[in-house]
Amino acid sequence: MTPPSEETPPEETEAWETLDEALQAQDTVLTKSILDGLEAEDQARAVSLLSQENREALLVTLPSKDFAQLLQELPEAQAVELLETLPSEQTAAAVECLPAETSSRLLRELEDQDSAQILHEIQDGESLSELKARLEYPEGCAGSLMRGSPVSFPQETTVQELLNDLYNHADDYSDRDIQYLYVVDEEKRLVGVLQLRQLFWAPRSKTIGELMIPDPLSVSDQMDFHDLAEIFTKRAFLGLPVVDDAGRLVGVVPRDTVQRETSDEQTEQYLQSQGIVDGEELRSMPLFDRCRKRLAWLAPNIVLNLAAASVIAANEATLQEVISLAVFLPIVSDMSGCSGNQAVAVSIRELTLGILKPKDFVRVLSKEGLVGIINGSLLGILLGAVAAIWKGNLVLGAVVASALALNTVLSVLLGGLVPLFLKSRKVDPALASGPILTTCTDMCGFFLVLSLASAVLDKLT
C-alpha cells in the first residue's frame, strides 16, 4: 500500500510580516495586539525589519507609554534614530514616560537642536527640571548615571512613622527599586543608611538615627565612570548613594547601571577596533549613512596599505630572485599582527579597568617584551622549519624564522605601548591602535624578510 504523501507545511509567517500587513491595513487595534504579544527581542527585530515609512506609522499609532516602552527595548542607536525622525511633540510625550536616567541618555545622543526641541515640548515642569539638571552633568559621571529621588528620611523619624509612610505611599515606592533607605539631616545631607530588615525587629519608638549605619560610603556626583566601576568591582554593593559638593543626597547609582555602561563601552571599543568608528551601525539605518560611516575608516587605510606595499616595491629585485619569499611575507605580517592585537586588547582592557595608566610604559615594555621573545622564538622556529623542509634550504628557514621572531617582539611591544601613547594624547586607543599596529607590523615584517633575504641572497638562489 502506498503511504499517503506528506505536504510540506507552509513557512511560518514572521511577526514583523504580520505587523507590516496590519500597518498597511491601518488596523491600529491589530497592530497594538501584535506588538504586545511579542517579547522584547522580537519587538526590536520587528521594528528593525519594517520599512522606514511603516516604522514611523507604527510609532505614530502607539500611545506615549507604549512608545516609551518600545524605546527601552530597542538598541540605543535605533531608539535615537526614531527620536530624530519623528515630530518632537510626539517624541517629547514618550520621553516624559521614560525613567529620567534613560531619557537623559537618549537625549545626549541627539543633535543639540533635536534635543532642545524635545525639551521645549515637555509639559511636566518637574520632569523637565530633572532632565535639564542631568544633562548638565558630564557624560559618564555618577550624576549622569544615577537614579533620582532616593528614598530618604530625617534622622529624627521614628520606626513607626517610617513604616506608616511606607504603607501610605506603597504605590509610589513600588515603582522604585529600593534596596536601602537613606537617612539625612535637616540640610538633606547624607548621614546614614538603613537596611529594610532592621525595621521589622526594631522598637517602634526608636528613631532611625539610632538604628542607621552612620557615615556610609558615598560617591560624588562628579565621579568618573571608571572610578565608579572600580568601586563596584572591589565591593559587592547593590547601589551607592550620590552626593553633591555640599554632601546633599541627590541620587543612587545602581550596580546594574554601571554593569550596563561597562558592557556598552566594551561593545563600542570592539566596534571601533573593527572599523565601525562613527557610532553604532544597524542595517535598519539609511544606506548612504552606513556607507559614509564605513568609508570614514576605509579611505585612510588605503594610504596606510600603500605605505606597507612600498616596502615590497623597494625590494622587488630580491623577491623576483627568490619567489618563494612571497609565500611567507603575508604569514610573517599576519602572525605578528595577531600577536600585536593580543597586546592591544590587554592594554585597552587594563586601561578600561583603571589598573593601567599611560605612565606605566616601562612595566608594559618589560612584560610584553618577555612574551614577545618567547612566543616569537617558538613561532619563528616552527615556521622556519616548515620553510626549510619545503625548499630544502636551511638558510631560507633561518631568514623566515628570524623575521617572524623579530617582528613578533616588535608587534607585541607596539601593541602594548601604542594604546598608552594614544590615551596620553586624549585619542581613543580602540579607534587608532589597530591601523597603526597593522601598518607597522606589515611594513616591518616585509622589510625584515626581504632585507634579511637580500643579505644572504647568494645562498637562497
Share of the chain above pLDDT 70, in %: 92
Q: pTM above the 0.75 mark?
A: no
Q: Which residue has the higher pLDDT, 48 or 245?
A: 245
pLDDT at 282: 66
> Which pLDDT score, from 0 to 100, does residue 331 have?
92
The three state secondary structure string of the chain is CCCCCCCCCCCCCCHHHHHHHHHHCCCHHHHHHHHHCCCHHHHHHHHHHCCHHHHHHHHHHCCHHHHHHHHHHCCHHHHHHHHHHCCHHHHHHHHHHCCHHHHHHHHHHCCHHHHHHHHHHCCCHHHHHHHHHHHHCCCCCHHHHCECCCCEEECCCEHHHHHHHHHHCHHHHHCCCCCEEEEECCCCEEEEEEEHHHHHHCCCCCEHHHHCEECCCCEECCCCHHHHHHHHHHCCCCEEEEECCCCEEEEEEEHHHHHHHHHHHHHHHHHHHCCCCCCCCCCCCCHHHHHHHHHHHHHHHHHHHHHHHHHHHHCHHHHHHCCCHHHHHHHHHHHHHHHHHHHHHHHHHHHHHCCCCCCCHHHHHHHHHHHHHHHHHHHHHHHHHHHHHHHCCHHHHHHHHHHHHHHHHHHHHHHHHHHHHHHHCCCCHHHHHHHHHHHHHHHHHHHHHHHHHHHCHHHCC
Residue closest to 242 by CA, chosen among 149, 375, 112, 341: 149
Mean pLDDT value across the chain: 83
User: Which residues are CB-neighbours of 337 under 8 A, at least 6 positions away?
Assistant: 411, 437, 438, 441, 442
pLDDT over 60 (residue 343): yes
Model confidence band, residue 356 (pLDDT cutoffs 50, 70, 90): confident
Q: Distance between CA atoms of 366 and 70, rounded to whole angstroms?
A: 51
Report residue 5's pLDDT band, with 50, 70 and 90 as the boundaries: very low
Radius of gyration of the chain (CA): 30
Determine the Cα–Cα distance for residues 310 and 304; give it in Å rounded to an integer. Answer: 10
Give percent of the chain with pLDDT exceeding 90. 24
Confidence (pLDDT) at 214: 92
Q: What's the pLDDT band for 12 if we cut at 50, 70, 90?
A: very low
pLDDT value at 361 more than 70: yes
pLDDT class of 13 with cuts at 50, 70, 90? low
Q: Say if residues 229 and 265 touch (Cβ distance below 8 Å).
A: no
Residue 74 to residue 318: CA distance in whole angstroms: 57
Query: How far apart, in whole angstroms, are the C-alpha atoms of residue 362 and residue 358?
Result: 10
pLDDT score of 3: 47
| pLDDT score at 76 | 81
* pLDDT (tens digit per residue) in 199-228: 888 899 899 999 898 989 999 999 988 888
Q: Which residue has the higher pLDDT, 345 or 400?
A: 400
Strongest mean pLDDT among 374-378, 439-443, 452-456: 374-378
Contact 328, 449 (CB under 8 A): yes
Report the alpha-carbon distance of residue 269 to residue 345 in Å, rounded: 10
pLDDT in tens, 403-451: 999 999 999 999 999 989 988 887 777 667 777 888 888 889 999 999 9
C-alpha cell at 9: 507545511
**pLDDT band at residue 272 using 50, 70 and 90 as cut-offs:** low
Q: How confident is the model over 321-336, as pLDDT tens digits?
A: 888 888 999 999 999 9
**pLDDT at residue 380, rounded to an integer:** 95
